[in-house]
């Protein structure tokens, strides 16, 4: 990935294309969870792709590409959330989101994540849908690692409660 970032900086749009394709799914998921609307999420990802392409030369450390582009996306989503005219839709639970049917547990997880508050939802999405480490999440959200750790712990606990995992069955 580091090589791809480097060659993208030299205006090689093919390299950037490959680089972006490697993370578009996780970006799209994050945008979906944040915006709860497929059209807005696609706009956010498309905008992010263009912003990142035009400013990749400013990225100082190539290793941080994933956290850097995730941060761009989150800022973009926040902006869309403020300015958008579209209403939220219920399409997030539709099967049209998935190329293949999800397993029962994955459906439970997806539905439970979407019931979380917006901060918890982002943390869970970045950690479990985007595979970011705690320190990467801390970098994306510009917060101390310790704070992120305890917030993530609390978010997992809430998710577990929503999924009924703490109840005796």
Partner 1 sequence: MNTDELFIKQLELSGNEIQNKLKILNSLSDINYSDGYKRKVKSQRKYLLLTASVAIVLTLVLSTIVYAFVNLVFGDMNFDKGLKKADEAGQTTSLNLSTKDKNITLNVKGIISDNLRTVILVSVSGELPPVEDEDDEDFGPANLESMNLRDENGNEYQYKGASGGYFSNDPNKDMRLEFEGIKNHDVDSLTLYIASINGITGVWEINIPIKVIPSHEFYPNIVYEENGVTFAIDKIVFAATDTELTCRYGPGHFMGFTKVILSNSIDSVKSNSWSADNNAGAVEIHFPTFPMDRDITLTIVVNDKEQTTFSVDIPASTFKK
- Which positions touch partner 1 (CB under 8 A)? 13, 16, 20-21, 24-26, 28-29, 39, 42-43, 45-46, 49-50, 53-54, 94-106, 108-110, 124, 127-131, 156, 159-160, 165-166, 168-169
CB of 73 to partner 1, least distance (A): 12
Residue with the two structure tokens 């696609």? 42
- Exposed, middle or buried: residue 46 (CB in 10 Å: 0-12, 13-18, 19+)? middle
Q: Which residues contact 114 (CB under 8 A, 6 or more apart)?
A: 33, 36, 92, 93, 121
CB of 32 to partner 1, least distance (A): 8
C-beta separation of 71 from 44 below 8 A: no
CB of 56 to partner 1, least distance (A): 10
26 or 141: whose CB is closer to partner 1?
26
10 or 96: whose CB is closer to partner 1?
96
C-beta separation of 72 from 52 below 8 A: yes
């Amino acid at each position: 990935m580091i090589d791809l970032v480097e060659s993208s900086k030299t205006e090689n749009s093919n390299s950037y294309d490959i680089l972006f394709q490697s993370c578009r799914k996780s970006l799209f998921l994050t945008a979906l969870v944040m915006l709860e609307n497929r059209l807005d999420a696609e706009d956010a990802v498309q905008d992010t792709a263009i912003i990142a392409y035009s400013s990749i030369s400013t990225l100082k450390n190539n290793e941080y590409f994933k956290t850097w582009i995730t941060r761009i996306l989150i800022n973009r989503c926040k902006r869309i959330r403020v300015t958008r005219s579209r209403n939220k839709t219920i399409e997030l639970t539709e099967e049209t989101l998935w190329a293949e049917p999800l397993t029962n547990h994955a459906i439970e997880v997806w539905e439970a994540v979407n019931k979380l508050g917006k901060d918890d939802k982002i943390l869970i999405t970045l950690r479990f849908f985007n595979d970011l480490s705690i320190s990467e999440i801390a970098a994306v959200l510009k917060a101390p690692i310790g704070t992120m750790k305890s917030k993530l712990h609390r978010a997992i606990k809430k998710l577990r409660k929503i999924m009924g995992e703490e109840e005796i069955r």
